[in-house]
Amino acid sequence: MDEQKTLTLTEVAKLIGVTKKTLYNWILGGRFPVKPIEGSNPRRWNIEDVENWRFGGKGNDNAEN
């Protein structure tokens, strides 16, 4: 079974090189466009979506913008 790797807020912040507070503020301000996995509690993000944004993408691959 090929499960996708997910990240917590703390792990996302570390991966992109900001503090948790900064990431939280980015999320609230709409500056971090990657949506968490629907229904995840606590919130988790798909690592592929975060990496796509990190390297110049717009966020979630499946988002229609």
What total number of domains does the chain contain?
A: 1
Tens of each residue's pLDDT in the chain, 65 residues: 446 799 999 999 999 999 999 999 999 999 999 999 999 999 999 999 999 999 987 666 544 43
Residue 60 CB-density burial (10 A; 0-12 exposed, 13-18 middle, 19+ buried) = buried
Domain, as residue range, for 17: 7-54
Asked if residue 20 belongs to a domain, the reply is yes
Asked if residue 32 belongs to a domain, the reply is yes
Report residue 8 CA to chain centroid gap: 8
Asked if residue 1 belongs to a domain, the reply is no
The pLDDT of residue 4: 73
The letter for the amino acid at 37 is: I
Report residue 36 CA to chain centroid gap: 6
The pLDDT of residue 57: 72
The pLDDT of residue 65: 37
Give pTM, 2 decimals: 0.79
Asked if residue 24 belongs to a domain, the reply is yes
